[in-house]
A and B are shown apart, each in its own frame.
Chain A
Amino acid sequence: MGSSLASSAALLAALLVLPQVLGEFWAFQLALYFLYAVAALGIGICWGRAGFLPLGQGLFFGLSAYLSGFALLRFADSWWLLLLLPLAALASGLLAYAIGLLVFRGRTESGPYFALITLALSLFAFQVANTWNGMTGGYNGLKGIPGLPALDSFAATYYVAAVALAAAVGAVWWLVESPLGVLWRALAQNERRVGFFGHDTAQLKAIAFGASGILAGVAGALYAPQQGLVTPEVCGFVLSADLVIWTAVGGRGRILGPVVGAVAIGVLTAELRGRIGWWEIVVATIFIGVVLALPGGLMGLLPVRRQRSRGARAPVLLPAPPRQLAGGPVTLAIEDVSSIAGEVRILDGLSLAIQRPGIYCLIGPNGAGKTSTFNMLTGELPAQRGTVTLDGARVGVRTPHGMARRGVGRKFQIASVFPDLTLDDNLRIALWSGRASLRDLLRPALRRWDSALLAALRQRFTFLADGLRAAAALSHGERQVLELAMALIGEPRLLLLDEPSGGLSSEETQRVIQVIRWARQTLGLCVVIIEHDMAMVKELADHVFVLHQGRLLAEGDVQTVRADRRVHDIYVGASS
């Protein structure tokens, strides 16, 4: 926190000195690109952190520029401007948030379609600005916009832009370091998994988009008084695309990347475009090169500064608040659930019930519907028929984050930790599950949360204590353990484990077995395990469910199931 303020102040100091060095003309040129840099910072948040690309920021930049232009033309030199100009920026932010919610709520993958939607929106805005002569002045735009009151000289506009840039950098820094920023980066790596920690990922992405909207809005709102003229081009595709290119070339993963891109490349382009015909070809080639080989952009060539050096004093840990969950053992009843996709009956009248805590194993041949049962429980697989009752209450529409909030935790077959985040961040994300509200996510203190369970797990598995290690550096076995730990830290009441011993050696499998037993005793939870490792099933299972062709074939303790002729037949493959 302190570092973001300090760096921001340092940047501001540097910027303030610049006009002395470069002269007034350059100061005015740069001021414009400082504003573009502010807008580009927004793209850095969405693309560099949260993992989706807004290709039409011109929409927000232009909207705020026009609103600001109206306000200035109407209320020049009046007090109202202090209110109206920030409102112009806020309007863009709200619009972006709304669009984000609408688009992200409907679909799980954003990707190119979201980019195309934003692109189409910005083109549409351009059309509107171009033809709505009455309001926007049409093709010629709004002219004669006065500057900000008492800040009319070239120098003053520079200082305004410099302050805006420094403040924006500070704000972005703070956001990125907050728990919300950590969640954004997790989203970019594995959106599905973030949902399983109880977070509404559509909402998180919409917030990122909203933030980028505010940034573009601030830039647009200051653009109008600075340039004195707002034309439809500010909404258009060329500016939107340029912002993306500058962000990419500068480096979208670093906070200053978009700034470097906008200021360096933007200014150079403005200067050289006329003189050297092939300059833009060079920029395009660099852009292609960045996409192909250098995703970190120019800033990516600089090494990352470690947040805390190894020997530094470890931060004081704070106890996390307890989870707000219903007490008592969980009960689950699945009644006659069917899920059909085309002609394939994934689940066919599946009925099973869990009345008391214990370790349950779900076994069966390939395609029996084991993982599909988990998917159905957490809402990823829609069921056309049947009911699911949790704790005596029927659960209708299920979503991963909704089920997580009810205390259903899940560990996936393929280890789904967040590879580019540190171990600490991975564990913290799990810790915030069900404990942190949306507002909490802005408090930096959350990054120092700890719980008794987490401490105990760290003692059992010493590698977890090396918190600054990136999760990608872990071996496969360690990754499985990390994911298991993350599933446990959420202190779920019903834990769904999908092949927890997948790819593990026998000693690693033993450790996993011990942890599961220990967690069951400590937390009193109910564990349902999908496993093929029969040795593990024999050791752990209190009760076994055998699935076959989407329904329950047999159940009972291990002895009963082993003796069941039908089970033997489906495993040894008696011909149909």
Chain B
Amino acid sequence: MNVVYEVTTLVVIVLGLAIVFGFLGVMNLAHGEFIAIGAYTAYACQARGWPYLTAIPAACLVCGALALLVERVLIRPLYQRPFDTMLATWGLSLLLRKTVELVYGGGYKSLVVPLSGSVSVLGAPFPAYRVLLIVLSLAGTSVLVVWYRRSPTGARIKAMVGNPELAQAVGLRTGRLARNTFVVGTCLAGLAGVMVAPLTPVQPYMGLDYILKAFFVLVVGGLGSAVGLVSGAGLIGGVESAMSAIVDRTWGYSTVLLIAIVFLWLRPRGIFARV
């Protein structure tokens, strides 16, 4: 059951990056920091005594505004330079991390779990909040996938990604569409942060762990398909959970690293790539 939780949360975490990297080709190394920002926003809301649900619009607001700024200043000038995008966003992640550290201090913040108690799953008790997250993750991801496949905007994104010149020729304002896609992907990161905040130690460096794992999932699962994303998350999250349970956390992480290295070396486009 823990494995299910690990995998589904990983899917949500990676979803935002999958959108940004898979569709726009932007290697946003600061993605993890947006997750952290979401978590800190949740903390701030809770600290003010507001109900936890307010963290959702709050995180969207903060991440969205930041994403607009970042897209304009950093991402847009570097669209044709994926390597420099990677570096610039790494600088951004450093900046965001240090700013958060400056504002909130370097220590751990802990949040109160908004939904306490446990639920009986297959006979064993399991924390209710985690169940809620699993349900929300599955529901949210499915909704997004269906929306992408059916809606006109989803088709336009697909068109823009597959054939940017023709997209412009038919009158699609690709600049605007790319910007909006980036903002949505980044807000998803913030929402992921709100989701996991009560369950993980909230500290300025929390984003680092997520970003690396997220990239490895994308490398293994391949870009541009929901199936790939889920498979990648399944493989990475599953292996890590399994190894952590069987041996220990370090082995879990190390195995993930090894799998990632092998894929980066031999099959960088993922399990389902045709090459």
A and B assemble together: yes
Chain A residues with a Cβ under 8 A of chain B: 53, 102-103, 106-107, 111-113, 115-117, 119-121, 123-124, 127-128, 130-131, 237, 241, 244-245, 248, 277-278, 280-281, 283-285, 287-288, 291-292
Determine how close the nearest CB of chain A comes to the CB of B69; give it in whole angstroms: 13
A117: contacting residue among B83, B253, B265, CB under 8 A: B265
Contact B257 A124 (CB under 8 A): yes
- Measured CB to CB, the nearest residue on chain B to A237 is B208
Chain B residues with a Cβ under 8 A of chain A: 27, 74, 77-78, 82-84, 86-88, 90-92, 94-95, 98-99, 101-102, 208, 212, 215-216, 219, 250, 253-254, 257-258, 260-261, 264-266, 268
Determine how close the nearest CB of chain B comes to the CB of A283; give it in whole angstroms: 8
Given contacts A111-B83, A127-B250, A288-B92, contact A278 B264 (CB under 8 A): no
What residues on A are CB-neighbors of B215 within 8 Å?
Answer: 116
Contact A131 B250 (CB under 8 A): yes
What residues on A are CB-neighbors of B99 within 8 Å?
Answer: 281
Of residues B74, B87, B92, B268, which shows the largest number of chain A Cβ atoms within 10 Å of its Cβ? B87
Contact A121 B91 (CB under 8 A): no
What residues on B are CB-neighbors of A280 within 8 Å?
Answer: 94, 98
The docked-state distance in angstroms from the alpha carbon of A280 to that of B98 is 7
Contact A113 B253 (CB under 8 A): no
The docked-state distance in angstroms from the alpha carbon of A111 to that of B25 is 13
Determine how close the nearest CB of chain A comes to the CB of B84; give it in whole angstroms: 5
A287: contacting residue among B27, B94, B208, CB under 8 A: B94
A120: contacting residue among B78, B98, B250, B260, CB under 8 A: B260
The docked-state distance in angstroms from the alpha carbon of A241 to that of B264 is 19
Given contacts A241-B90, A284-B95, A288-B95, contact A116 B257 (CB under 8 A): no
What residues on B are CB-neighbors of A284 within 8 Å?
Answer: 91-92, 94-95, 98
The docked-state distance in angstroms from the alpha carbon of A124 to that of B240 is 14
The docked-state distance in angstroms from the alpha carbon of A131 to that of B244 is 14
Contact B94 A291 (CB under 8 A): no
What residues on A are CB-neighbors of B260 within 8 Å?
Answer: 116, 120
B86: contacting residue among A115, A237, A285, CB under 8 A: A115
What residues on A are CB-neighbors of B216 within 8 Å?
Answer: 120
- Measured CB to CB, the nearest residue on chain B to A277 is B102
- Measured CB to CB, the nearest residue on chain B to A117 is B264
Given contacts A111-B83, A113-B264, contact A288 B88 (CB under 8 A): yes
The docked-state distance in angstroms from the alpha carbon of A345 to that of B132 is 53
Determine how close the nearest CB of chain B comes to the CB of A387; give it in whole angstroms: 25
Contact B258 A124 (CB under 8 A): yes
- Measured CB to CB, the nearest residue on chain A to B215 is A116
What residues on A are CB-neighbors of B84 within 8 Å?
Answer: 291-292
- Measured CB to CB, the nearest residue on chain B to A285 is B95
Given contacts A124-B258, A124-B261, A281-B95, contact A106 B266 (CB under 8 A): yes
Contact B82 A111 (CB under 8 A): yes
What residues on B are CB-neighbors of A119 within 8 Å?
Answer: 212
Given contacts A111-B83, A287-B94, A292-B78, contact A281 B261 (CB under 8 A): no
With A127-B250, A127-B254 already in contact, 13 other A-B pairs whose C-beta atoms are closer than 8 Å: A103-B265, A116-B260, A128-B254, A248-B87, A280-B94, A281-B95, A285-B95, A287-B94, A288-B88, A291-B87, A292-B74, A292-B84, A292-B88
Contact A112 B27 (CB under 8 A): yes
- Across chains A and B, which 10 residue pairs bring their CB atoms closest together, nearest first? A284-B95, A288-B91, A284-B94, A287-B91, A291-B88, A124-B257, A127-B254, A280-B98, A117-B264, A291-B87
- Measured CB to CB, the nearest residue on chain B to A115 is B86
Determine how close the nearest CB of chain B comes to the CB of A47; give it in whole angstroms: 10
B102: contacting residue among A106, A128, A278, CB under 8 A: A278
What residues on B are CB-neighbors of A131 within 8 Å?
Answer: 250
20 CB < 8 A contacts A-B = A53-B83, A102-B265, A115-B86, A116-B215, A120-B261, A120-B264, A124-B261, A127-B250, A241-B90, A244-B87, A278-B98, A280-B98, A281-B95, A281-B99, A284-B91, A284-B95, A285-B91, A291-B91, A292-B74, A292-B78
Determine how close the nearest CB of chain A comes to the CB of B264; give it in whole angstroms: 5
The docked-state distance in angstroms from the alpha carbon of A366 to that of B212 is 45
Determine how close the nearest CB of chain B comes to the CB of A97; give it in whole angstroms: 16
- Measured CB to CB, the nearest residue on chain A to B102 is A277
What residues on A are CB-neighbors of B78 within 8 Å?
Answer: 291-292
The docked-state distance in angstroms from the alpha carbon of A277 to that of B77 is 30
What residues on A are CB-neighbors of B265 within 8 Å?
Answer: 102-103, 106, 117
Determine how close the nearest CB of chain B comes to the CB of A381; give it in whole angstroms: 15
Determine how close the nearest CB of chain A comes to the CB of B202; give it in whole angstroms: 19
A127: contacting residue among B82, B86, B253, CB under 8 A: B253
